[in-house]
Amino acid sequence: MTTKVLIIGAGAIGAFYGALLEKAGAEVAVVCRSDYEQVKQHGFNINSHILGTWTFTPSQVLKNTADYQGTADYVLLCTKVIPSVDRVALIRQAVSANTAIVFIQNGVEIEQEIVDAFPDNEIISGLAFICSNRTGKGEILHLAYGRLALGNLPGFVSDKTAYLCELFRQAGIECTTTEAIVTERWKKCVWNAPFNPLSVLSGGLPTLAILQSQEAFVRSIMQEVCRIAKATGHQLRDNIVDVNIEHTYKMPPYKTSMLLDYENVQPMETEAIIGNAVRAARREGIETPYLESVYALMKLRELKLNA
């Protein structure tokens, strides 16, 4: 039987991974608001520097989740995690008893809301390590990377997760499953917590310039994230800060996702990436003055942007 997938949030992440699943033989529908007319008529134009160029024609193109016809094996939630988006409400009407809920999203401690709302469903947490942009209506540019990490909550790998992983691999992208996906979120946060906000607060510096000028500051933030992770039960490797620093020195100068949002006057994932980490620190009684400073300044920046 054909695997049925519904992608909610068909932007640079959702449309790209949806296109891969369709390539692997799944029946892939999309909920897609802003580019609805374009995608309905012409599908998505996927331009990948790694996998080539092709058109992704979804099986259904929908304005609302409620319009979905059929029973989804997987609902893939790929929106940004921002306070104005109610993630539970977005997916509820497409979730059946056997639907696995997959979220491929940024941030830490973003799981519980979904787990609480769907206590009887399988919940798969996903992380994308990718550089992709939406370059126009229905236009997705995949520049580099693309690895996915998938794992069930609270900490195992189900058959359904393994199968989804296999589909992504068949489509040509690296995908790994893990029994410690929550730990993986904290690992990703070690990099995101400094570079995302610093790229915005600096007024638009790429990662390399930030690092070359303020490596000690970047390290201080990373170390605080490691301490929070440990306090929440996720001990990261001792050398993770060094590895991240070395890796970033070798990357080409890179504009973070938060900087791209900032430059495009789009809401930023401040709460998912920084706010949730700070709240975890406060809850665990850990002092994180560097992260608190960055969070306070991002809140001031947003206050000014929304003024």
Question: With respect to its own copies, which residue has the nearer C-beta, 171 or 201?
Answer: 201
Choice between 133 and 214, CB closer to its own copies: 214
- Kindly tell me which of 68 and 262 has the beta carbon lying closer to its own copies: 262
For the CB of residue 68, give the shortest distance to its own copies in the complex, in Å: 41
Residues near its own copies (CB under 8 A): 198, 201-205, 209-210, 213-214, 216-217, 220, 289-290, 292-294, 296-297, 299-301, 303-305, 307
Residue 22 or 224 with smaller CB distance to its own copies = 224
- Measured from the CB of residue 304, what is the shortest distance to its own copies in angstroms? 4
Half-sphere exposure for 268 (CA within 13 Å, toward CB): 31
**Minimum distance between the CB of residue 297 and its own copies, rounded to whole angstroms?**
5
Asked about 188 being catalytic, the answer comes back as yes
Min dist. Cβ of residue 266 to its own copies (A): 16
Catalytic residue among 63, 160, 188, 304: 188
Task: Write out the catalytic residue numbers.
Answer: 188
